[in-house]
């Protein structure tokens, strides 16, 4: 049984682990029965359907966080928390019917009722997987009773309850295998970059599928300067293409030929990442897992509204390891220019940062997590 979702950060590591487990068992002539338990309108419901994975829902509640603890006792929080006992009862019924050998929880609010039912009511082994450097609220709740706690970074282990640390295993965060198999020359061809200059480094800018207004604005401000030193692939989000294209219409022809603006990067993403010498991005767990597995220098602009400020913690931790530059707080175009300057002109610094990033990456994270799941199941 798999539970977790709400965001891609919780959903895709679970999906990658399921795919890897299927392949592992198929190689031994065995099959895998999977039931994914999530929320009806969540990303996990669409992902499970696309993969042909059986799916069920349970009631769950979302905690709206606030710096002032008194503000957390809000009518919305009280109403949602009252749904959790119902979700636990529904999860218990699902577990008793499906009888899983092991339950894998990857975070998100839906993981709590399923994890509680598995460990406290049904006696089923629970594996918790944490994608970020800090523990998410759901996983913090479940860690005390989990059979195994798989974490993405060694620095997460001291944050676990003392009684749970002996059950922690550093697996890394599963990365889709296709991300690791890109070919840089295919990116130039697929994107039709006629003005591409192979003698210059390439910067890939991304704010996620919908783009980031903050990152788009910062890059637009420094773009004329940036294009004198680099090729730029800018994934800005489908709704932002028109405004950015209008703003760059006055670029000199030579510079404009090195700038590729697109709303969305699809199947060519592995090739784009293979081509990129520097990446400008948010610092979500999935992005960090991919960039460290590939060994890509990065300038991170964390999403300020991420739960528990986890993106800022992720970015700062990588900066402390020499694997990235973290731009936190009020980020200015000047700060972006300063962060990129030496990375673009100093190939040695890029290589050093790439090596530091690669040393933190775990491209075999899915296999490691599957090892943990099978160990708990047996």
**Quick one: tokens of 345?**
């002109």
Q: Is CATH 3.40.50.2000 correct for 2-175+363-377?
A: yes
**Quick one: tokens of 269?**
């993403």
pLDDT digit string, tens, across residues 72-90: 456 655 566 666 899 999 9
Long-range contacts of 144-148 (CB under 8 A, 24+ apart): 145/115, 145/119, 145/120, 146/105, 146/115, 146/119, 147/102, 147/376, 148/372, 148/375, 148/376
Could you give the CA distance from residue 200 to residue 230 in angstroms, rounded to a whole number? 5
Section 1-11 average pLDDT: 92
Q: Are 73 and 88 in contact (CB under 8 A)?
A: no
The closest alpha carbon to 1, from 124, 168, 169, belongs to 124
Section 165-177 average pLDDT: 95
DSSP states of 57-75: E---------SSGGGGS-H
- Residue 92 belongs to what H/E stretch? helix 84-98
pLDDT at 270 > cutoff 80: yes
pLDDT digit string, tens, across residues 108-136: 999 999 999 999 999 999 999 999 888 88
pLDDT at 64 > cutoff 50: no
pLDDT at position 76: 59
- Residue 1 belongs to what H/E stretch? none
pLDDT at 373 > cutoff 60: yes
Label residue 208 by pLDDT band (50, 70, 90). Answer: confident
Return the SS3 of 266: coil
**Quick one: tokens of 152?**
């993405």
Torsions phi, psi for 91 (to 5 deg)? -65, -40
Section 181-202 average pLDDT: 94
Q: What letter does residue 354 receive in the DSSP assignment?
A: H
In order of 9, 157, 223, 234, 268, the CA distances from 191 in angstroms are: 27, 42, 19, 11, 8
pLDDT digit string, tens, across residues 226-255: 999 999 999 999 999 999 999 889 999 989
Section 278-306 average pLDDT: 94
Q: Do domains 2-175+363-377 and 177-360 have the same CATH topology?
A: yes
pLDDT at position 83: 67
Specify the higher pLDDT residue, 21 or 83. 21
pLDDT at 306 > cutoff 90: no
pLDDT at 307 > cutoff 70: no
pLDDT at 65 > cutoff 60: no
Q: What is the largest CA-CA distance in the chain?
A: 67
pLDDT at 67 > cutoff 60: no
Query: How does the average pLDDT of the chain come out, rounded?
Result: 92
Q: Are 198 and 230 in contact (CB under 8 A)?
A: no
Domain 177-360 CATH class label: alpha beta
Cα–Cα–Cα angle for 194, 195, 198, nearest 5°? Answer: 105
pLDDT at position 63: 56
Strands 202-206 and 278-281: parallel
- The structural domains of the chain, with segments of one domain joined by +, span 2-175+363-377, 177-360
Section 362-373 average pLDDT: 97
Rounded percentage of the chain residues whose pLDDT exceeds 70? 93
pLDDT at position 61: 66
pLDDT at 164 > cutoff 80: yes
């Amino acid at each position: 049984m798999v539970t977790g979702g709400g965001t891609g950060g919780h959903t895709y590591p679970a999906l990658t682990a399921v795919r890897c487990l299927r392949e592992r068992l198929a190689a031994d002539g065995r099959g895998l029965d999977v039931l994914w338990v999530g929320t009806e309108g969540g990303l996990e419901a669409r992902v499970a359907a696309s993969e042909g994975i059986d799916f069920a829902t349970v009631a769950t509640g979302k905690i709206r966080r606030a710096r002032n603890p008194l503000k957390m006792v809000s009518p919305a929080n009280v109403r949602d928390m009252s749904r959790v006992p119902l979700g636990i009862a529904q999860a218990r019924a699902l577990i008793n019917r499906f009888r899983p050998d092991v339950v894998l929880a990857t975070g998100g609010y839906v993981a709590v009722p399923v994890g509680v039912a598995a460990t406290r009511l049904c006696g089923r082994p629970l594996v918790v997987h944490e994608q970020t450097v800090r523990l998410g609220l759901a996983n913090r709740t479940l860690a005390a009773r989990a059979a195994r706690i798989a974490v993405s970074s060694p620095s997460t282990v001291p944050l676990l309850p003392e009684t749970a640390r002996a059950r922690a295993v550093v697996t890394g965060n599963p990365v889709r295998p296709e991300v690791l198999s890109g070919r840089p020359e295919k990116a130039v061809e697929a994107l039709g970059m006629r003005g591409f200059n192979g003698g210059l480094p390439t910067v890939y800018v991304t704010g996620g599928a919908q783009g980031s207004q903050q990152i788009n604005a910062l890059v637009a401000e420094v773009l004329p300067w940036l294009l004198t030193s680099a090729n730029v692939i800018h994934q800005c989000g489908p709704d932002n293409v028109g405004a950015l294209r209008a703003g760059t219409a006055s670029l000199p022809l030579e510079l404009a030929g090195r700038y590729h603006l697109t709303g969305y990067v699809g199947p060519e993403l592995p090739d784009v990442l293979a081509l990129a010498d520097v990446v400008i991005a948010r610092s979500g767990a999935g992005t960090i897992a991919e960039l460290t597995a590939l060994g890509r220098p990065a300038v991170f602009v964390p999403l300020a509204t991420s739960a528990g400020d986890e993106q800022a913690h992720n970015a700062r931790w990588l900066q402390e390891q020499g694997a990235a530059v973290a731009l936190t707080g009020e980020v200015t175009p000047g700060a972006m220019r300063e962060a990129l300057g030496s990375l673009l002109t100093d190939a040695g610094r890029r290589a050093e940062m790439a090596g530091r990033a690669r040393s933190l990456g775990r491209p075999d994270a899915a296999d490691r997590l599957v090892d943990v799941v099978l160990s708990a199941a047996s």
